Amino acid sequence: MYNSLWLNYKKLSLLDESEQRIADILSNVCFNSYEAENPLCVNIKNEIDTAFEAFFGKKPIFSYNVEMTSGLLLNIIKNDSLLKEGYRIFSFENGYKIEAADYSGLLYGTFRFLELVRIGKLTSDVDETKNPDNPLRMLNHWDNMPGDIERGYSGNSFFFEDNKMMINDRTVMYARAVASVGINAVVINNVNVKGEASYLISDRHYSDLKKLSDILNGYGISLFVSINYALPLENGLDSADPLKEEVANWWKNKCEEIYKNVPNLGGFLVKADSEGRPGPFTYQRTQADGANMLARAIAPYGGIIIWRCFVYNCRQDWRDLKTDRARAGYDYFHSLDGEFEENVILQIKNGPMDFQVREPVSPLFGGMEHTNEMLEVQIAQEYTGQQRHVCYLIPWFKEILNFNTHMKEATAADILSGRAMGKKNAGMAAVSNTGDDLNWTGHDLAMANLYGFGKLSYDTSLSAEDIAYEWARLYMASAIGEKSFEEIKGKVITDTVVDILMKSWPTYEKYNAPLGIGWMVVPGIHYGPDVDGYEYSMWGTYHKADCKAIGIDRTASGTGYATQYKKENEDLYSSLDTCPEELLLFFHRMPYNYVLKSGKTILQYIYDTHFEGAEEVEKMSASWDSLRGMIDEDIFERVSKRFEHQVIHSKEWRDVINSYFYRKTGIEDEKGRKLY
C-alpha cells in the first residue's frame, strides 16, 4: 500500500471561467517530435493522460508531429536558452506550450505544467524557463538487500526484500514522483555494502538491474549502485591494491561484464576507508589512487565514480585532545586536488562532522579548485528527529548553498553545480528519507524534504518558503480550484503548513544541542537526548563540557580546523566578534558566563532556547490541530500522532539538556523555571 505522494491528482473544481477555459484548452494536446518507441515520450504522454483524466474526468485528444495552433503543444526545439534537461512553459493566444531541448527536459516541463494547473498558476501570462543548476540531482538510498534501511524511518526498503530486488508498481510510482521534482540519478543500495549487496553487480542480479534501469531511464533517471571496494578479495584475488595491475584488470573486466548486462548504468558510489569499510589506505595508497583505478575501468562506458569523502578515524581515543575529526575530510583530500580522473566526483557531506542540526559548511567546498565535487545532504532525518519530529530541512540547505567559500567568491552552490570551475560532473545528492510506509516518508510533513530536495537540486535559487508552499498546496490542497481556494479558506491550509514547516528547523535546533556543538544524542540510534552519550566514545564528537566552560577551540590556537577555510572565512570563524553565534561552540571553547550579543549569558541562552523550543512545538501542534476537518483525514491523523510525540519528546530534550547544565554549573535559571 502506498499513496501517490504529491502526484495525488484529484478532480479540479472548475468553479470559475478561467479554470473552465483551461479545461477546454487542455482537451487537445499536440506532441511534436514524438517517438513511439521512446519510453520518455510514452511516459510524458501517460503523465498527461493520467493527470488530465483525474483533473477533468477525461483524457485529452492527442495529436503527434503535426502543426497545431491551439491546445497544449509539446515541442523539442533547439535554441540557446534551453540547455540539457531544461524547459520552457509559456502561454500563447490559444493555449500553452512546453518546449525543451531533450525529452528529459520535456518530461520536467510536463510535470511542472501539471503542477501549475494544480497550484493555480497557469495564468494567461505564464512564462517559466528553467535549466537545471546541477548536472547530477541524486538520491542515495541506504537500503540493505535483506530489506532493512540504514537510518530508515519509514518502514522497509521498496527496492529489496530477502536479498532480492523488487520491481513492481511501486517502483514506477517512485520513478514518476522523483522525476517530477527533477531527480535524475539514484543509488539504490546502502553505501555500506555488505552480504548479498557485494554481489549486486553479478549474474545474480544483472537482469533485475537492467529491468530497473530501463524503468528509471524512462523517467530520465540513471541507476547507480554502491560497491564494495574490496570486491576483488571476495572473488579470488589476494589484494585490492589499486596500483596492482591484476586488481585494475579485474575491475576492467568487471565493468565490461556489468555494462554488457546493464548498458545504461550511471556508475558507482563508493564509501572506502570509512567506518570500517575497506579502501586504498589498506595498501598505503591514496584516495585518488583508489578512485582513479575504478574511474579508468568504468570510463569506456561513460560511467561515473562518486567517491565519498567521509573518511576519518572512527576509533579515536577521547582522551586525545589533538585529533579533530572535523579536520579529517580536508586533511585526507585537499592535497589530492587535481589528481582525480575527470569521471570521478568527490561526494562531500555538507558539514565536516555528520548531518548535525547545525554545522559549518565543509572547507572542501572551495578547497579543491581542480576537482569535481558534489554535495551530500541527508533528508533521512537521522539527527533531526527521525521523521517523528517535523524538521523541514530546505532552509538549512539554502544556507549551505549560499555559503560564500571565498574561492573566487563562489558560493557552495556555484561550486557543486560545477559552474564556478566549469565542471560538468557535479551536483547534489541527498540520503533519502523514503521507505515502504504508505506515505513513503513516515511523517507526512517529511515528504516536503523529499519534494524540496528535488526541486532545490534542479533550481537552487528557489526559496524554501515557495517550495514549502507548492508542496503543501499539491499534497493537501490541490483539489481546490483557484477561486474557491480563497473562498473556502484553502489558503489557511497552505499558510498553516508553510508556517509549521518554516519554523520547524529553527525550533528543532533550539531544543537540541546548543550553538553548533552537536552530538548530544543517544549513541547508535541517534534519537533523543544524551548529553554525554558520545563524550567518552571513540567517535571524535566531543563537547568537553565541564563546570565552567564548553566547546572546542578549532581556531589556529586550537585544533586548527578553521585554518582549512579561505582566509576570509578563517578570520570570520576565528574572531569572537564575527563568528556566527549559532556556530560559537563549534569553533570556540567558551565559559558559560560569556555574554552573547543578545545580552544573555551562554548558560541563560541554553535555558531560554530550550524552553522556547518546547513551547514552539506546542504551538506548531496546536496550529496543526486547527486543520482538523480541512484536509484529508488520514494525513491529518498521522501527523497529529507524530505531533503528540514531538510535544512530549521536545520537553524531554529541554529538560535533559537544561538539567545537565544546571547540575554541572549549579546556576539557576534567571526566570526561575523548573530545572531538575
Binding segment toward a second copy, per CB under 8 A, in 130-138, 233-241, 630-638, 654-662? 654-662
Tell me whether residue 471 or residue 542 sits nearer to a second copy (CB atom): 542
Tell me whether residue 236 or residue 666 sits nearer to a second copy (CB atom): 666
Tell me whether residue 319 or residue 671 sits nearer to a second copy (CB atom): 319
How big is the chain by its Cα radius of gyration, in Å?
Answer: 26
Asked if residue 132 binds a second copy (CB under 8 A), the reply is no
Tell me whether residue 263 or residue 591 sits nearer to a second copy (CB atom): 591
Handedness of CA 103, 106, 110, 111 (dihedral sign): positive
Q: What is the DSSP string of 266-312?
A: -EEEE--SSTT---GGGGT--HHHHHHHHHHHHGGGT-EEEEE----
Asked if residue 68 binds a second copy (CB under 8 A), the reply is no
Asked if residue 260 binds a second copy (CB under 8 A), the reply is no
Residue 43 sits at the vertex; the CA angle it makes with 39 and 49, to the nearest 5 degrees, is 150
Spatial CA neighbour of 310 closest among 221, 375, 248, 218: 375
Q: How far apart are CA 279 and CA 187, in angstroms?
A: 20
Asked if residue 319 binds a second copy (CB under 8 A), the reply is yes
Q: Name the minimum Å distance from CB 666 to a second copy.
A: 5
Spatial CA neighbour of 192 closest among 456, 431, 540, 7: 431
Q: Name the minimum Å distance from CB 346 to a second copy.
A: 35
Q: Name the minimum Å distance from CB 517 to a second copy.
A: 15
499 burial (CB, 10 Å; 0-12 / 13-18 / 19+) is middle
Binding residue (CB under 8 A) for a second copy from 531, 585, 603, 617:
531
Q: How far apart are CA 491 and CA 505, in angstroms?
A: 23
Asked if residue 585 binds a second copy (CB under 8 A), the reply is no
Binding residue (CB under 8 A) for a second copy from 238, 466, 546, 568:
546
Asked if residue 602 binds a second copy (CB under 8 A), the reply is no
Asked if residue 665 binds a second copy (CB under 8 A), the reply is yes
Tell me whether residue 543 or residue 642 sits nearer to a second copy (CB atom): 543
Asked if residue 352 binds a second copy (CB under 8 A), the reply is no
Binding residue (CB under 8 A) for a second copy from 6, 365, 475, 662:
662
Q: Identity (one letter) of the amino acid at 85?
A: E
Q: Name the minimum Å distance from CB 589 to a second copy.
A: 13
Q: Name the minimum Å distance from CB 322 to a second copy.
A: 13
Q: What one-character DSSP code corresponds to residue 170?
A: H
Binding residue (CB under 8 A) for a second copy from 487, 532, 625, 637:
532
C-alpha cell at 107: 518530461
Tell me whether residue 548 or residue 641 sits nearer to a second copy (CB atom): 548
Q: Name the minimum Å distance from CB 535 to a second copy.
A: 9
Interface map 421-460 toward a second copy (x if CB under 8 A)? ----------------------------------------
Spatial CA neighbour of 531 closest among 545, 551, 515: 545
Q: Name the minimum Å distance from CB 436 to a second copy.
A: 24
Q: How far apart are CA 155 and CA 274, in angstroms?
A: 26
Q: Name the minimum Å distance from CB 512 to a second copy.
A: 15
Tell me whether residue 324 or residue 414 sits nearer to a second copy (CB atom): 324
Phi, psi (degrees; rounded to nearest 5) at 368: -140, 90
Tell me whether residue 343 or residue 512 sits nearer to a second copy (CB atom): 512
80 burial (CB, 10 Å; 0-12 / 13-18 / 19+) is exposed
Asked if residue 408 binds a second copy (CB under 8 A), the reply is no
Q: How far apart are CA 397 and CA 666, in angstroms?
A: 38
85: left (phi over 0), alpha (psi -120 to 50) or beta: left
Residues in 603-632 that interact with a second copy by CB under 8 A? none
Contact at 8 Å (CB) between 364 and 333?
Answer: yes
Binding segment toward a second copy, per CB under 8 A, in 5-13, 337-345, 363-371, 656-664? 656-664
Q: How far apart are CA 644 and CA 167, in angstroms?
A: 36
Tell me whether residue 133 or residue 655 sits nearer to a second copy (CB atom): 655
Interface map 507-526 toward a second copy (x if CB under 8 A)? ---------------xx---
Binding residue (CB under 8 A) for a second copy from 418, 529, 540, 613:
529
Positions marked catalytic: 275, 354, 382
Q: Name the minimum Å distance from CB 655 to a second copy.
A: 6
Asked if residue 655 binds a second copy (CB under 8 A), the reply is yes
Tell me whether residue 68 or residue 656 sits nearer to a second copy (CB atom): 656
Q: How far apart are CA 488 and CA 492, in angstroms?
A: 9
Contact at 8 Å (CB) between 147 and 157?
Answer: yes
Number of residues that bind a second copy (CB under 8 A): 26
Phi, psi (degrees; rounded to nearest 5) at 119: -100, 15
Binding segment toward a second copy, per CB under 8 A, in 156-164, 366-374, 546-554, 611-619? 546-554
**Continuous segment of H or E residues that includes residue 106:** helix 103-118
Phi, psi (degrees; rounded to nearest 5) at 98: -120, 120
Tell me the sheet residues that pair with 127: 90
Residue 547: Cβ within 10 Å count: 12
Residue 25 sits at the vertex; the CA angle it makes with 489 and 471, to the nearest 5 degrees, is 40
Asked if residue 60 binds a second copy (CB under 8 A), the reply is no
Q: Which parts of this chain interact with a second copy (CB under 8 A)? A: 318-319, 522-523, 529-533, 536, 544-548, 652, 655-656, 659-660, 662-666, 676
